Chain A
Amino acid sequence: MKLNELTIAELRRLLDNREIKPHEVLDDIYNRIDSVEDKVKSFITVTKDHAYEMAKNAEQAILSNKQSLLTGIPVAVKDNMCTKGILTTCASMILNNFIPPYESAVTARLKEQGYVLVGKTNLDEFAMGSSTENSGFHTTRNPWDLERVPGGSSGGSAAAVAAGECIAALGSDTGGSIRQPAALCGVVGLKPTYGRVSRYGLVAFASSLDQIGPITKNVTDTAIMLNAVAGHDPLDSTSAPAEVPDFAKFLGQDITGLKIGIPKEYFIEGMDKEVDDAVRSAIKKLEALGAIPVEVSLPHTGYAVAAYYILATSEASSNLARYDGVKYGFRASGGKDLLEMYMNTRSQGFGAEVKRRIMLGTYALSAGYYDAYYKKGQQARTLIKQDFDNAFKNVDVIVTPTSPSAAFRVGEKSANPLQMYLSDIFTISVNLSGVPAISIPCGFTKDNLPIGLQIIGRHFDEDAILKIAYAYEQSTEWHLRRPQL
């Protein structure tokens, strides 16, 4: 057994018992990266030297019994979170030389917990996409089938975890960007409640929807990672001053009598039969474990994708205005005046999807269109939130498929943005309403592609999600399967 194949919890025990050393874990990690990264391409930047330095510190900490949650654990971070002194690109040409002089709140917290940074993972440029095909650098491949996408936008992080190139990873989720790639790569991905984790240092896509969360091999590791990064941050006004429990303590609790809502709007025509079957059997399994399925309705689900693509692009059009070639990042040469410099820089620096979204958002906010688009989008968002509030009056969690299909082929949807947008149809409402949701493996297609089960909870009730996810995981073996590479 190679150390890179273990989980955080397993490594913690071995490290703390001094049976292994942090650099030995790293050796296995980088050996694995050396042998599979050419095929998978999870990373934009691999921080090997830096990692061994961190591993040295970790070893010191363990030797002096000062270890924390993640001391010596190799973790990969999506390349839209700022790491001080380390290239942070957002997979965009416009930031291809950007080295932040500051640390994001999440990586600062991981540091406090002793983590070792393996590298910065690939994503769709500025987290805009569902396949990593929009990366300005390269497309990451699904470790289960290299002809297929890993999902996105946190495709690099999900693929790295699935391929054993890191023990755990951070992703960010604006419309499903943690959960969908987790589902497509057969790993666990949690989008915490909006405000649970600080966004300081996360390069913004859509500020009111973005949330950072863990991607791990199992639910236990998700709880550990969430423990490390959750909590109020005075530097993020939207981070909630809510109390942070020890999320690990909910694992193993009895789920008898818990009500799980099954939204009828989520089991739709056109959904992949295998996905439908896998999710229905997962629900049966939960029922067997003592949970009570209850049909619920989220009547405004049909408006979610439209509302999302108005609101998210509106915010993005403004968030991405700062990349003007003046202060940092890429600047196009040859402009004869300021306007030309702006236009050349942004034309050359941004990829097609990012430009498409900037234009959509700019349009939606324009004088004369604001009421018809942005405002309507906000109204729809309110209704979608109310749907969840109403449903959660009767149930503890809501269970749905994470994605309507398993991993699709590279190039299959990239020519048709709308088709691509629909792959987030089950995850988007969760961001619009701010509630937390997890994706866990719940089966495989006959082509041996992973299928994800989404469990959605009330605001700040990650507890219930983790409890149910863990109970399900313990009674199945999907999470133990690893791709053959």
Chain B
Amino acid sequence: MKSGVRSQESGVEKYEAVIGLEVHAQMLTDTKIFCGCSTKFGSEPNTQTCPVCIGMPGVLPVLNKKALEFTIKTGLATHCKISPYSRFARKNYFYPDLPKGYQISQYELPICEGGYIEIVADGEVKRIGITRIHMEEDAGKNIHEGGGHYSFVDLNRAGVPLMEIVSEPDIRSPEEAAEYMKKMRTILRYLGVCDGNMEQGSLRCDANVSIRSVGQKEFGVKTELKNINSFKFVEKALDYEIRRQIKVLEEGGKIIQETRLWDTATNTTQSMRSKEEAHDYRYFPEPDLVPIVVNQEWIDEIKSTLPELPDAKRERFVTQYGLPEYDAELLTSERAIADWYEDAVNVGVQPKAVSNWMMGELMRMLNEESKSIEECPLKPDQLAGMLKLIDDATISGKIAKTVFEEMYRSGKDADTIVKEKGLVQISDEGAIEKVVDEILLKNVKEVERYKAGEEKLLGFFVGLVMKETKGKANPQILNELVKKKLS
């Protein structure tokens, strides 16, 4: 079934979910969108504020050009049209974390419109439309601590630039929604416009959800879900909400248009406000900012700075390096991982070998220490250097694991480690033969059993030789020698 709600509940099969996502992405500009204050996360409350971002009387906003550039960049990367003429609008409402009593946003004329991104759903590539991307300022934070009859307001976040990316209602299941979020995050991180950190709130998501009978064209009544601020919650919250709506309809009820809040404590969605209680934001054009006029020349210039995007990179990894889709997908999930990979391959080693080591040992060790690839103590050419030692039979694959760990911990090159620890593989047939002969002499009984047909004892002999040579014997030569001697 298509709804993605895999359950045996009654009626589920009859329905299809229709989902649209509104993603808020904090931009990685150094300064706020309308003033020069720092956007750094985690500073002491109200230390990154000025008269402009705390909305004192008489001050005026000035647009941060970098925020505009980042939004255009995102628009271009998601196949949007960039409007040559767009403008800001005021969204009016009262809340203590909103110092001016209005948020400067875009309404009628957003900067980007009509794009899409591609996700993989049920093994097939699916396009999710992007309705629009617009710029706006973030609000501050209310802090309810201390238990007094008051709350605190921290305005460090007020004025941090946000992009709101609104999707078309093209998403049909919680899994697709999660895929969409992941893909969007990857693109934003590739572009370097947002760090994509949902836990810290630099990437946030609201969802519009409705259900309809399979085959029905019209949309059902939608609810808006808020507070789904982790990848895990995107799927969970949508899953819950779809089931809830199905249950309401199955019991003969009606869906009410409302805003619902995802409650992480109960894993349910709770009604926050109905359509009647919805704010009237009284949008009107922001008179303190002139309309944004963007010329094609600048758009082209920004276009020329676009990095290779994840889809293109993945395809290239498959064709250029002969990698399986799975490897390519993983290696291109982060731009830094892909760069690391290519830096290693470019030294001149087997692409698939690099992939195996990265996806295996390297990722395992990074994960153990919760490190990102940027923090990896190992350099790509060090891995390549080690792979060369395997290629030219200086070390065995088994020894390589030891070398790799040592490289990771000490930062020394594979060459140095192999020399220092005497790990060079013994490929001298004579030397290996000597050890093999010794071992066979010492284990006469086992030799007889082998000859009597117990062929699995081959491994026993090989193991003993390896032990004796501290693992340095060339495994291929060793295997052949043992077989020859015993035949």
Q: Write out the residue numbers on chain A whose beta carbons fall within 8 Å of the beta carbon of B457.
A: none
Q: Which of A1-9, A213-221, A285-293, A359-367 lies at the interface with chain B?
A: A359-367
Q: Is the CB of A200 within 8 A of B288?
A: no
Measured between beta carbons, the chain B residues less than 8 angstroms from A317 are 92, 282
Interface stretch of the complex, out of B56-64, B314-322, B349-357 = B56-64
Any A CB within 8 A of the CB of B287: yes
Q: Which of B56, B59, B101, B288 contacts A238 (CB 8 A)?
A: B288
CB of A310, distance to nearest CB on chain B (Å): 11
Instruction: State in angstroms the CA–CA spacing of A322 and B53 once bound together.
Output: 12
Q: Are A90 and B284 in contact (CB under 8 A)?
A: no
A318 pairs with B284, CB closer than 8 A:
yes
**Given A318-B102, A322-B99, A366-B282, A102 and B60 touching (CB < 8 A)?**
no
Contact with A along B253-296 (1 / 0, CB 8 A): 00000000000000000000000000010111001111000000
Contact between chains at A342 and B94 (CB < 8 Å): yes
Report yes or no: A322 in contact with B96, Cβ–Cβ below 8 A.
Answer: no
CB of B67 to closest CB in A, whole Å: 14
Q: Given A321-B100, A321-B101, A322-B99, verify A374-B284 contact (CB < 8 Å).
A: yes
Residue from A100, A326, A366 having most chain B Cβ neighbours under 10 A: A326
In-complex Cβ contact of A315 among B58, B287, B290 (8 A): B287
Known: A90-B57, A200-B60, A236-B60. A326 touches B96 (CB 8 A): yes
What's the minimum C-beta distance from B91 to chain A, rounded to whole angstroms? 10
Contact B288 A365 (CB under 8 A): no
Residues of B within 8 A of A199 (CB): 58, 60
- Tell me if A102 and B59 are in contact (CB < 8 A): yes
Chain A proximity of B201: nearest CB distance (Å): 22
B90 part of interface (Cβ distance < 8 Å): yes
Rounded to whole angstroms, the CA-CA distance of A266 and B61 in the bound complex is 37
Closest chain A residue, CB of each to CB of B101: A321
Counting contact residues on chain A (CB < 8 A from B), the size range is: 35 or more
Residue numbers in A under 8 Å from B4 (CB-CB): none
* Interfacial residues of chain B within 49-84, with CB under 8 A of chain A in the complex: 51, 54-63
Given A237-B62, A237-B288, does the pair A367, B280 have CB atoms closer than 8 Å? yes
Q: Decide if A466 is an interface residue (CB 8 Å cutoff).
A: no
- Residues of chain A with a CB closer than 8 A to B59's CB: 102, 200-201
In-complex Cβ contact of B282 among A100, A208, A365 (8 A): A365
Contact of A234 with B284 at beta-carbon distance under 8 Å, contacts A322-B57, A322-B101 already known: no
Is A354 an interface residue, CB under 8 A from the partner?
A: no
- For residue B52, which residue of chain A has the nearest CB? A235
A237 x B289 contact (CB < 8 A): yes
In the complex, the answer to whether B60 meets A100 with C-beta atoms within 8 Å is: no
Indicate if B153 sits at the interface (CB-CB under 8 A).
yes
Chain A minimum-CB-distance residue to B282? A365
Q: In the bound complex, do residue A235 and residue B90 qualify as a contact, i.e. CB atoms below 8 Å apart?
A: no
B59: shortest Cβ distance to chain A, in Å?
Answer: 7
- Decide: A102 near B288, CB < 8 A? Known: A321-B102, A338-B96: no
Does any Cβ of B come within 8 Å of A386's Cβ? no
The answer to whether A362 and B56 touch across the interface, beta carbons within 8 angstroms, is: no
The answer to whether A102 touches B56, judged by C-beta atoms less than 8 angstroms apart, is yes
Chain B nearest CB from A336 CB (Å) reads: 9
Q: Is A203 at the interface (CB under 8 A from chain B)? A: yes
Residues of A within 8 A of B280 (CB): 366-367
Q: How long is the Cα–Cα vector from A327 to B280 in the complex, in angstroms?
A: 24
Q: Which residues of B contact A314 (CB under 8 A)?
A: 284
Contact A324 B62, CB 8 Å, known A203-B57, A365-B92: no
- B90: chain A residues within 8 A (beta carbon): 318
The majority secondary structure among interface residues of chain B is loop
Query: What chain B residues lie within 8 Å of A362 (beta carbons)?
Result: 282
Cα A365 to Cα B92 with chains together (Å): 10
Residues of A within 8 A of B56 (CB): 100-102, 322, 327-328
Residues on the B chain within 8 Å of A95, using CB: 57
Q: How far is the CB of A79 from chain B (nearest CB, A)?
A: 11
Question: Interface 1/0s, chain A 230-265, versus B by CB < 8 A?
Answer: 000011111000000000000000000000000000
Instruction: Output the nearest chain A residue to B102 by Cβ-Cβ distance.
Output: A318
Contact mask for chain A residues 162-204; partner B; CB cutoff 8 A; 1 contact, 0 none: 0000000000000000000000000000000000000111111
Name A104's contact: one of B58, B94, B101, B153 (CB within 8 Å).
Answer: B58
Q: How far is the CA of A203 from the CA of B58 in the complex (A)?
A: 4
Is there contact, CB below 8 Å, between B62 and A234?
Answer: yes
CA distance A384 to B269 in the complex (A): 52
A238 lies within 8 A of B290 (CB): yes
Chain B residues whose C-beta falls within 8 Å of the C-beta of A237 in the assembled complex:
60-63, 288-290
Q: Is there a chain B Cβ closer than 8 Å to A433's Cβ?
A: no
- A347 CB, nearest partner CB in chain B, Å: 14
Kindly report which residue of chain B lies nearest to residue A82, judged by CB atoms. B58
Across-interface contacts of A80 in B (CB, < 8 A): 58
A98 interface residue (CB < 8 Å to B)? yes
- Which residue of B51, B94, B282 is within 8 Å of A102 (Cβ)? B51
Contact B60 A88, beta carbon cutoff 8 Å: no
Q: Kindly supply a per-residue 1/0 record for chain A positions 291-322, scoring 1 wherever the CB is within 8 Å of any chain B CB and 0 otherwise.
A: 00000000000000000000000110110111
Does A207 have its Cβ within 8 Å of any Cβ on chain B?
Answer: yes
Q: Does A399 contact B (CB under 8 A)?
A: no
B287 & A208 in contact (Cβ 8 Å cutoff): yes
Q: Who on chain B is nearest to A234 by CB?
A: B62
A81 at interface by CB-CB < 8 Å: yes
List chain A residues, Cβ under 8 A from B94.
321, 324, 342
Please name the residue on chain B nearest to A88 by beta carbon.
B57
Give B91's nearest chain A residue, CB to CB.
Answer: A318
A102 and B51 CA atoms in complex are apart in Å by 8
Using Cβ atoms and an 8 Å threshold, which residues of chain A touch B289? 237-238
Residues of chain A within 8 A (CB-CB) of B99 are 322, 326-327
Query: A400 to nearest B CB, angstroms?
Result: 26
Cα-based distance from A367 to B282 in the complex (angstroms): 7
B58 pairs with A202, CB closer than 8 A: yes
Most buried by A among B59, B94, B99, B153: B59
Task: Report A-chain residues with C-beta under 8 Å of the C-beta of B58.
Answer: 80-82, 100, 104, 199-204
Interface residues in A321-380 by Cβ distance below 8 A to B read 321-324, 326-328, 338, 342, 362, 365-367, 370, 374
CA distance A130 to B282 in the complex (A): 28
A338 CA to B150 CA, complexed, in Å:
9
A321 to B102, CA, bound (A): 7
Tell me which residues across on chain B come within 8 A of A315, comparing CB atoms: 284, 287
Q: In the assembly, what is the distance between CA of A452 and CA of B90, in Å? A: 38
Specify the chain A residue showing the minimal Cβ separation from B290.
A237
A369 CB → nearest B CB, Å: 10
A81 nearest CB across to chain B (Å): 7
> 0/1 per residue, A90-105, Cβ < 8 Å to B?
1000010010111010
Residues of A within 8 Å of B287, CB to CB, are 206-208, 238, 315
Q: CA separation between A67 and B114, bound complex, in Å?
A: 59
Which residues of B, 86-122, contact A by the 8 Å Cβ criterion?
90, 92, 94, 96, 99-102
B100-A322 in contact (CB<8A): yes
For the complex with contacts A98-B57, A236-B62, A324-B94, 18 further pairs of A-B residues with Cβ separation under 8 Å are A80-B58, A88-B57, A95-B57, A102-B59, A201-B58, A204-B288, A208-B287, A237-B61, A237-B63, A317-B282, A321-B102, A322-B56, A323-B57, A327-B56, A327-B99, A367-B280, A367-B282, A370-B282
Chain B interface (Cβ < 8 Å from any Cβ of A): 51, 54-63, 90, 92, 94, 96, 99-102, 153, 280, 282-284, 287-290
Top 9 A-B pairs ranked by shortest CB distance? Answer: A321-B101, A365-B282, A208-B287, A207-B287, A203-B57, A203-B58, A201-B58, A322-B55, A367-B280
Q: List 21 A-B contacts (CB under 8 A).
A: A100-B58, A101-B56, A102-B59, A199-B58, A201-B58, A203-B57, A207-B288, A208-B287, A236-B60, A237-B288, A237-B290, A238-B290, A315-B284, A317-B282, A318-B282, A321-B94, A322-B56, A327-B99, A338-B96, A365-B284, A366-B280
